[in-house]
Chains A and B, each alone.
Chain A
Amino acid sequence: MKISLNWLKEYCNIPVSAKELAEQMTMLGLEIESMEEPGKEIENVFVGKILDIQPHPQADKLVICKTDIGKGEPLQIICGAKNMKAGDKVPTAIDGAILPGGLKITRRKMRGIDSFGMMCSGAELKVEEDSEGLLILPPETPIGEDIKKVLGLDDVIFDIEITPNRGDWASYIGLARELSAYYNIPITLPQIQIKEVEKSVSSVSSVTIECPDYCPRYAGRVIQNVKVAPSPDWLVRKLLSAGQRPINNIVDITNFVLLEIGHPLHAFDFNKLNENRIIVRLAKENEEIKTLDGELRKLKANQMVIADAIKPQALAGIMGGADSEVDDNTINVFLESAYFDPISIRRTARAHNLLTEAAQHFQRGADPEMVLWAINRATALIQELAGGEVLQGILDEYPQKIERKFVKLRYERTGKRLGINIEQNFQKSILINLGFAAKDETEREVNFIVPSWRHDVTLEEDLIEEIARFYGYDKVPNTLPKIRQSSAVFDASFKKIHNIRTLLVHKGLTECYSWTFSNPEIMQQLKFPDNYLNMVVLQNPLSKNLSTMRTSIIPNLLATAQKNHLEDTISIFEIGPVFIPDDKNILPEEKQKIGILLSGYANPRLWCYNERKHYDFFDLKGIVEDILNMLSITYRIEGSEFPLFHPGQSLKIKNQNKELGYLGKISPKVAHELEINENTFIGELNLNDLLNIPLKKKVYKTISEFPSTSRDLAILVDRIIPVADIYTSLKTIGEGILQKIEIFDVYTGEQVPKDKKSIALGFTFCSNEKTLTDTEIDALVNEIINRLQKQFDAQIR
């Protein structure tokens, strides 16, 4: 909300500078978005009267003016504008003047003739967006007056953010009320004088409220024989300073009163109301109204309208109807001032997407006791600016009186909540200054009557906040609480997940952080199985590409790989949630997943590496194994049939029947489609399932004091036999004496038959009881050989 300091000062005499005021308002909860001094840069611009205009002999488009600025001889000024005539008063910058933006005006020759200054347009003074020609001032403007004073540019404009609970702040008088309470200075309300004629308003019109829950109070006045015309300058300027467009004097007055007191009013063309009367009622289902913005709106049965005897003439509290709009031909005006239920206004305004100024005020709660003041203020102004006869009396229907609320304050609660003791009398005086009235007072507590404009105060805590605000948040001490722990655990996995993150970073991977939205089409393109395509869908997504919540992190990682395709090595991971719809619950299941992607070179281009190695399957498998081992998880590996992957280079990881994750080389086809490196390896682990697996308990094993012995063996087996099977089979030999099996070479190639592979195995034997003899070890090696021959048809080399 834009607030002019000069205008604000009409209601209370603020005792501090603009800067101090801004700081104090901030500390009262009125957040200052910006503070501008519109005339700050303007110097030496005065009101001048054009005495004479002559053509310029050397230039068709210029004229020579003689302009009187009230000092010395009239100035000769060359001017290019066309909209002025002799006798007009215009802003005149003299030699040495400064205009907004720092433009300096000096005496100079224009096409051979001296010009001693410049006459200004509204745009040049930054009072209009753009303008054609000079700014013509009203004829009564005094010659020689400083233009800043005339145009109200010697002002400070605050842009204030008003929180939704304080609708009462959203007006000049509302602000003045707050500041006068804080600075303890009087508030001056404008004098209202209305001359009523003898004819009573009830003889020509009536108000009927059919829905008192929606409209507890409705007041109307009728003013006859008004002259609709443009508003005078002072009113136009005030509306402009608030960012409002002037329309005509009647409408402008209602808008002005809204700015002044925060109470929305509406003026109807009285003659356009059928039977000249008002019915406040709910709309009939599908009833229609054409609102002032030209829209034909279909109404619902719970939406309140202001109707005449036949049809709706306004969307109550939100926008007037086009059919009863005040225009240049209007003679008689029906002026409305009402109090509408905030929730009903909010619902209707939202339903029609019409959050007008009026709707905003009503939805935050207007002041039911301000209804008559507001209508009288506007009536007086109409009479002053548009003439006319005010019919006697007000049609004031108030079927549901809004009672003042009472809120009890226990003085000691203030200290208990705030952590500082504030003297009782001081607490009380703060609230009294703010318009609260004390009732039923005892030594320890007091019942306060809440002012009619303070809809936000309903609880003791609200009073405590008022006291804290005026006492000063900055004066409340800063103390450290004694924190007592609860025994409940709310998130057991945060630390473990962070440990995994740290492990991966230490292994050289870089962490990504993506939006969790996803594109269902990409999921299909990546050939994710159907269960991944069952996604949480957003009703109002930012775009089609972001219309669902992700079920996998892999598309994010692939997008990152695409985005960074110019890098020669990409080793990234991301940890975060995926969202799986759950038919049995209102909310989807959220699972934390970790995705890893490797692509490009595995080692840096560095003097000490002979060659650069490309990432391969086992780089990724090793990383995943490290995570599983860090968590002490038992798992087994199976081939994966995930279509995203190369069928010969992919696996899934299982614990019992639970799939913990999968990894593999991206299928060459997908790599081609996405235009990413074929040597890209991706894996995804389900962290929730990983972290839920009971840990293998670690138990100390005796460290043998006897020496260990190693033997190596090279065997030739069918190429298709998995090494893991050999490993598993041999592990059971020797009842603990065979302590370690190393697979230190695997070879396929020219040296061995085409369907065979050579495997080099290293065995370490050690006993806890004695030094093993050669005979004992030989026996074990023979057992190993036998088993290899029998089970795997191995040839010993």
Chain B
Amino acid sequence: MIKELEKIKEQAIKKIEEAQSTDLLEQIRVEFLGKKGKITEVLKKLGTLPAEERPKMGSIANEIKEIITNSIQEQYQIILEKEIQKKIEEEKIDITLPGRTCGIGHMHVINQVMSEITDIFIQMGFQIASGPEVETEYYNFESLNTPDDHPARDVHDTFYVKPGVVLRTHTSPVQMRVMEKTKPPVAVIVPGRVYRVDNDASHSPMFNQMEGLLVDEDITFADLKGTLMYFVHKFFGEETAVRFRPHYFPFTEPSAEMDISCTVCKGKGCRVCKNSGWLEILGCGMVHPRVFQYAGYDNEKYQGYAFGFGIDRMAMLKFSIPSINLLFDNNLKFLEQF
């Protein structure tokens, strides 16, 4: 009987190991362990054995039953694993195909740069101000210490709407509008469109400027330098060199122009910087006492600085855009690059 059981065991294990599907395994289980299975059949004969052998034979039979059960279980796991592998294999896709999207759009490069610049100044504590683009001569010139007979007006090729009304030639008139509205402290930046009668490869009749104005009791020329240096380092990178040169603006005194080391040649000299290694990017200075007078600010008590620069130029430098006219041409092949 033991021999018979051993034989059944070997038979079963062989079949189990050969089985390749879970269905087959179930058949094998029924064949050997089922109610009418081979082991059961053998055990039915247990009664024919002498009483003292029965417990021993019973436990052997149960042992074999367990072995077969475990073996089926193991094989079941193996098959399952294989079937999952197979399924995975079948479901494999080309992950390099592009994803399903209509794509995101493109913010205009001027507004990307505008937003980056305003963020830098807002973090420093400035807030945004705005003013009209069609402006009175009073705000655009006169209140900025540039009366009608002032030679400085020659550099502003102004669009006229009617006597006394112009398209603003710079964002500076907003300085005066802000100062009229509030007493110091004032800390504003003014991004906006400005206009000059000029249209060629390097000039657009409409372009964009950013104005800054900071007025309080102790704002110094050193603060002006520090603020603009901080801005340049944030926007163009820490390695950019900065230089302030004396210049003239009717609405600031002392006045300066700021150069940065050429972003193309890093200061070595190239065509972009006319071999000087420097790029002129900004005009600035301490607010002129006469401007304070127009604003009704006490020049003895308050002092402040103002600056203004071209946003388009910043964008052109940052993205190596060769001509300002590309910015306003609305060619999708240009707009979609940024």
Contacts and interface: CB of A to CB of B under 8 A. Distances in A.
B246 A469 contact: yes
Given A419-B221, A501-B111, A508 B160 contact: no
B245 A511 contact: no
A229 interface: no
Interface in A403-446: 416-420
Contact of A486 (B111, B155, B187, B257): B187
B90 interface: no
Interface stretch (A57-65, A290-298, A309-317, A474-482): A474-482
Interface in A593-633: 602-604, 606-609
B197 A512 contact: no
Given A480-B223, A586-B165, A486 B186 contact: yes
Contacts of A549: 134, 167
B95 interface: no
Contacts of B255: 465
Contacts of B257: 31
A510 B229 contact: no
A514 B328 contact: yes
Interface stretch (A76-84, A534-542, A713-721): A534-542
Interface string B71-111: 00000000000000000000000000110101111111011
B127 A485 contact: yes
A269 B29 CA distance: 135
B225 A540 contact: no
A577 to B, nearest CB: 6
A364 B206 CA distance: 29
B267 interface: no
A166 interface: yes
Contacts, number: 254
Contacts of B60: none
A364 B115 CA distance: 41
A417 B127 contact: no
B230 interface: yes
A328 interface: no
B269 interface: no
B162 interface: yes
B185 A474 contact: no
Nearest to A418: B221
B335 A347 contact: no
B315 to A, nearest CB: 10
B178 interface: yes
B107 A28 contact: no
B134 A579 contact: yes
Contacts of A705: none
A587 interface: yes
A696 interface: no
A346 interface: yes
B336 interface: yes
A473 B243 CA distance: 9
Interface in B231-280: 243-248, 253-257, 274
Contacts of A576: 193
Contacts of B320: none
A27 B245 contact: yes
Interface stretch (A103-111, A524-532, A560-568, A671-679): A560-568
B105 A490 contact: no
Nearest to B124: A483
B134 A590 contact: yes
A485 B332 contact: no
Given A586-B165, A590-B134, A364 B151 contact: yes
A744 interface: no
Contacts of B199: 542
A420 B230 CA distance: 19
A327 interface: no
Interface stretch (B17-25, B34-42, B47-55, B212-220): B212-220
A245 interface: no
Of listed B105, B129, B214, B216, residue having the most chain A CB within 10 A: B105
Of listed A363, A486, A512, residue having the most chain B CB within 10 A: A486
Contacts of B204: 515
A416 B129 contact: no
Contacts of B150: 164
Interface string B291-323: 000000000000100000000000000000000
A536 B162 CA distance: 10
Contacts of A234: none
Contacts of B289: 459, 461
A590 B132 CA distance: 7
Interface in A468-500: 468-469, 473-474, 476-481, 483-486, 488-491, 494-495, 498
Nearest to A506: B104
B222 A29 contact: no
B286 interface: yes
A27 B246 contact: yes
B16 interface: no
B220 A540 contact: no
Of listed B150, B151, B247, B289, residue having the most chain A CB within 10 A: B151
Contacts of B246: 27-29, 465, 468-469, 473
Contact of A34 (B133, B161, B253, B274): B274
B154 to A, nearest CB: 7
B226 A478 contact: yes
A540 B103 CA distance: 43
A723 interface: no
Given A474-B243, A486-B187, A417 B335 contact: no
Interface in B114-158: 115, 118, 124-130, 132-136, 149-152, 154-155
B185 A484 contact: yes
A463 to B, nearest CB: 10
A540 B256 contact: no
B107 A346 contact: no
B254 A570 contact: no
A417 B288 CA distance: 12
Given A419-B222, A511-B335, A540 B245 contact: no
A165 interface: yes
Given A469-B246, A481-B214, A484-B185, 14 more contacts: A363-B151, A417-B254, A418-B220, A461-B286, A481-B226, A488-B181, A491-B127, A495-B128, A505-B105, A512-B330, A538-B159, A559-B330, A590-B133, A604-B102
Q: Which 8 A-B pairs have the closest CB atoms?
A: A419-B222, A419-B220, A29-B246, A490-B129, A483-B125, A163-B248, A465-B254, A481-B223
Interface of A: 26-29, 31, 34, 163-166, 342-343, 346-347, 355, 363-364, 416-420, 459, 461-462, 464-465, 468-469, 473-474, 476-481, 483-486, 488-491, 494-495, 498, 501-502, 504-517, 536-542, 546, 549, 556, 559-560, 563-564, 567, 570-572, 576-577, 579, 586-588, 590, 602-604, 606-609
13 contacts: A355-B154, A417-B254, A468-B221, A504-B105, A508-B105, A510-B335, A511-B111, A513-B327, A538-B160, A563-B330, A571-B105, A607-B97, A608-B100
Interface of B: 97-98, 100, 102-108, 110-111, 115, 118, 124-130, 132-136, 149-152, 154-155, 159-162, 164-165, 167, 178, 181-182, 184-188, 193, 197, 199, 204-206, 214, 216, 218-223, 225-227, 229-230, 243-248, 253-257, 274, 286, 288-289, 303, 327-332, 335-336
